[in-house]
Amino acid sequence: MRTVSLALRNLLRNRRRSLTTLLAMVIGAITILVFGGYSRDITYSLQTGYVLRGGHLQVQRKDYFLYGSGNPAAYGIADYQRVIGAISGDPVLASMVTVVTPTISLGGIAGNFAAGVSRTIIGSGVVVADRNRMRQWNDYRLPLRLPPFSLNGTAEDAVVIGNGVARVLELCQPLAVPDCPKHLRPEAAAGASAPADISELAALEARPVRSPGEARIELLAANVHGAPNVASLRVVKAERQGFKELDDMFVGMHLTQAQRLLYGSDRPQATAVVVQLVHTSQIPAARARITELLATTLRDEPLEVQDFETLNPFYGQAVGMFAAIFGFMAVLIGAIVLFTVSNTMSMAVMERTAEIGTLRAMGLRRSGIRRLFVCEGLLLGLIGAACGVAASIGVAWLINHAGLTWLPPGQVDRVPLTVRVWGEIRMMLGTGLGLAVVAVVSSWWPARRAARMRIVDALRHV
């Protein structure tokens, strides 16, 4: 305790130098924590977007993740309702699961034959009520204001398409899509009808009469037997999807409509069962339990479970990139703090050479001298870390209440810019401890040099 008191007095003897060193440490802590809070907020935003769309886990037929996109009908889950019941009714999973819902992914060709245009698409069939419940998940309390799913309250022939699909299919005017061609091509203006084979397939379905100004598309997909199926669908809305590749191909529809396209009159199936959990941290436990169910209760079908990170590789790449940037910044700022504290302690040793000789002459051992200067470095580190963490919380609060907005990756609407420092205990403790360790390490060499001084040489130092 006496060493700590003496070390604190020594720091106060040269307040200007000590304050300068502390300021460098505080600025370093603010830089690390504010950027860390910003990258953490991006991570949570990305994760929330993926969880809202595809859940935390998906039960799929074995190898669907590798090969199913080319032929989704061949990788359907025949008894998907039994899978949903087993997961929803499991006592172990009951406290973890919020939504369990089937989904279908399919590929096809969407055409607006009145305009003479078509394009390949990626379709997604969902249960609208379940998707509305999934949109309520906000485990990280992000500033999200998501409206109900666009298919909410619509008929089974209703679909939502990406803005890119609407532009290619020349449905801009009825769907109020911006940045579209003002004039149609000559063949489009003529109002060409669908090809004869497409018309014959579409005639097999109860095809509603097109209302004036209504946007409709014909969707062609191959069923489970390889034969073509066509549905005439009413487009209720065009939405941006965040990624241009998805925006140019996305068609969202009701699950029953997607099942009719893929399976026709056969028994309807699902390509995946989506599981959304209460907390992301429950993924390992939930995955282990679902894997156990697939090996016992649900062993009739070859099924497997995938988490959202495996299904969305971009998430892991983005998190890894920000982690690398954060680590580089931490090392760089740590080096600056190291040289700053080392210079401060070296100056202190040089100015107090005679004092060191006096202490040694009075009987203080070399270890005592070394301990004194290391304690000064430790105090600088602790005080600088505490002040830096407190200042970082203040800076984060100012940023969070400044009204700034930004467009996160994969989002279509601007959201408030927030920096998540408060509550990130691990990040704050790690930064504070790191600064303290750097301060101690940087003071060790000057302390060693002070301890190795010869008493006679130190006493005659002027």
Domain boundaries, the chain: 2-47+316-459, 63-301
Neighbours of 381 (CB within 10 A): 27
Yes or no: say if 322 and 42 are a contact pair by the CB < 8 Å rule: yes
The residue behind tokens 């009159």 is 265
- pLDDT given at position 280: 94
For range 171-189, the mean pLDDT: 68
Task: Round to whole Å and give the CA distance between 385 and 18.
Answer: 14
Yes or no: say if 444 and 346 are a contact pair by the CB < 8 Å rule: no
What is the C-alpha end-to-end distance of the chain, expressed in Å? Answer: 30
Residue 460 in this model has a pLDDT that exceeds 90: no
For range 29-40, the mean pLDDT: 92
Yes or no: say if 224 and 263 are a contact pair by the CB < 8 Å rule: yes
Rounded to 5 degrees, what angle do the CA atoms 42, 46, 51 make?
A: 145
Neighbours of 436 (CB within 10 A): 21
Neighbours of 379 (CB within 10 A): 20
For range 99-116, the mean pLDDT: 90
Kindly indicate the confidence band of residue 195, based on its pLDDT and cuts at 50, 70 and 90. low
Backbone angles phi, psi at 264, to 5 degrees: 55, -125
Query: Which pair of tokens denotes residue 17?
Result: 């130098």
Q: What is the DSSP code (8-state) at residue 364?
A: -
Residues 6+ away with beta carbon under 8 Å from 138: 48, 144
Yes or no: say if 326 and 36 are a contact pair by the CB < 8 Å rule: yes
Residue 266 in this model has a pLDDT that exceeds 80: yes
Q: Which residue has the higher pLDDT, 140 or 7?
A: 140
Query: Which pair of tokens denotes residue 433?
Result: 């401890």
Please state whether 170 falls in left (phi above 0), alpha (psi between -120 and 50) or beta.
left
- pLDDT given at position 417: 85
For range 153-174, the mean pLDDT: 91
Task: Round to whole Å and give the CA distance between 383 and 15.
Answer: 14
Residue 406 in this model has a pLDDT that exceeds 60: yes
- pLDDT given at position 360: 74
H/E element, 380: helix 366-400
Query: Which pair of tokens denotes residue 138?
Result: 């906000």
Residue 309 in this model has a pLDDT that exceeds 70: yes
For range 181-187, the mean pLDDT: 53
For range 313-326, the mean pLDDT: 90
Task: Round to whole Å and give the CA distance between 298 and 393.
Answer: 49
The residue behind tokens 């990406």 is 162
Residue 189 in this model has a pLDDT that exceeds 80: no
Task: Round to whole Å and give the CA distance between 411 and 49.
Answer: 8
Beta strand residue intervals within 40-188, DSSP E: 57-61, 97-112, 117-126, 158-162
- pLDDT given at position 36: 92
Range in 163-177, 325-339, 348-362 with the lowest mean pLDDT: 348-362
Yes or no: say if 135 and 37 are a contact pair by the CB < 8 Å rule: no
Task: Round to whole Å and give the CA distance between 26 and 386.
Answer: 8
- pLDDT given at position 187: 46
Q: What is the DSSP code (8-state) at residue 412?
A: S
- pLDDT given at position 30: 93
- pLDDT given at position 133: 94
Residue 416 in this model has a pLDDT that exceeds 60: yes
Task: Round to whole Å and give the CA distance between 221 and 228.
Answer: 6
- pLDDT given at position 272: 94
- pLDDT given at position 337: 87
H/E element, 322: helix 313-351
- pLDDT given at position 11: 74
Query: Which pair of tokens denotes residue 51?
Result: 């969880």
Residue 336 in this model has a pLDDT that exceeds 60: yes
Predicted TM-score of the model (pTM): 0.81
For range 51-59, the mean pLDDT: 94
Residue 215 in this model has a pLDDT that exceeds 50: yes
Residue 202 in this model has a pLDDT that exceeds 60: no
Query: Which pair of tokens denotes residue 245?
Result: 């590749």
For range 327-343, the mean pLDDT: 88
Computed over every residue of the chain, the mean pLDDT equals 85
Q: Which residue has the higher pLDDT, 283 or 192?
A: 283
Task: Round to whole Å and give the CA distance between 421 and 405.
Answer: 18
- pLDDT given at position 137: 94
- pLDDT given at position 188: 44
Yes or no: say if 107 and 95 are a contact pair by the CB < 8 Å rule: no
Beta bridge partners of 417: none
Range in 14-23, 275-284, 363-372 with the lowest mean pLDDT: 363-372
Task: Round to whole Å and give the CA distance between 455 and 361.
Answer: 7
- pLDDT given at position 126: 95
Kindly indicate the confidence band of residue 102, based on its pLDDT and cuts at 50, 70 and 90. very high
> Three-state SS for 78?
coil
Compute the residue count for the chain. 462
Query: Which pair of tokens denotes residue 177?
Result: 């899509």
Residue 41 in this model has a pLDDT that exceeds 80: yes
For range 20-25, the mean pLDDT: 88
Residue 449 in this model has a pLDDT that exceeds 90: no
Percent of the chain with pLDDT over 90: 37
- pLDDT given at position 447: 83
Side chain identity at 173, as an amino acid letter? Q
Q: What is the dihedral of CA 321, 322, 324, 329, to 10 degrees?
A: 150
For range 20-27, the mean pLDDT: 89
For range 149-164, the mean pLDDT: 91
- Residue 163: CA atoms inside 13 Å, Cβ hemisphere, count? 12
For range 382-393, the mean pLDDT: 92
Whole-number Cα distances in Å, 311 to 29, 41, 54: 36, 21, 9
Yes or no: say if 97 and 278 are a contact pair by the CB < 8 Å rule: yes
